[in-house]
Chains A and B, each alone.
Chain A
Amino acid sequence: DTEVTQTPKHLVMGMTNKKSLKCEQHMGHRAMYWYKQKAKKPPELMFVYSYEKLSINESVPSRFSPECPNSSLLNLHLHALQPEDSALYLCASSLSGTTQEQFFGPGTRLTVL
């Protein structure tokens, strides 16, 4: 298996909802990443997990809560989001948390109403 999968593909939520995004890879990669991408902009790093431990948090608001239950799975829990949080959320993985090539999943298109 040589891909990163993400579910759901699309998500619409209200500002009071709680939802989660899921990312999975079975390539034996030990680093996983969450990025946020607004239209016509480059991806912005949110979190990095290396060997299931959070190694980078790019000052992301607490309404985004990452979780790495095991080396293959990465979740992003969402609560009390704002309309400006609407974006494409991309998950990526790499062999390790060093400067290895990152492979991206298809993304979740999130709309906050």
Chain B
Amino acid sequence: ELKVEQNPLFLSMQEGKNYTIYCNYSTTSDRLYWYRQDPGKSLESLFVLLSNGAVKQEGRLMASLDTKARLSTLHITAAVHDLSATYFCAVSGGTSYGKLTFGQGTILTVHP
């Protein structure tokens, strides 16, 4: 069974600081996704990582994938309040066709 673990689960940051969220998964996967969710809202797709060594950047967020280590990171640079949200990584593959397995989510709060 495919398992996905994120850490930390809670992250309180000051504006302007850098931090990294980690996502580990248990078996070989086809793709890894990062989503953002604001309170009471739906999931917004941030990044799709397809292959080993993939790196994608959008604004203050950068995601990377190491398939050999089964690890993805979401790096936050110079955090701003608008980045406060819950971030999920999700992995596709495993035995169930079309199924995404999500990590527990990281609740990020950025303070002034």
Contacts and interface: CB of A to CB of B under 8 A. Distances in A.
A45 interface: yes
Given A43-B43, A90-B43, A97 B97 contact: yes
Interface in B62-95: 88, 90, 92-93
B97 A101 contact: no
Contacts of A97: 97-98
A103 B99 contact: no
A31 B98 CA distance: 8
Give the dominant DSSP class at B's interface: strand
Contacts of B31: 99, 101
Interface residues of B, number: 25
Nearest to B47: A101
Contacts of A90: 42-43
A93 to B, nearest CB: 11
Interface string A29-65: 0010100000011110100101000011000000000
Contacts of A50: 97-98
A39 to B, nearest CB: 10
Contacts of A55: 97-98
B41 A102 contact: no
Nearest to A4: B42
A46 to B, nearest CB: 11
A96 to B, nearest CB: 8
Interface string B33-66: 1010000111111001000000000000000000
Interface of A: 31, 33, 40-43, 45, 48, 50, 55-56, 88, 90, 94, 97-99, 101-107, 109
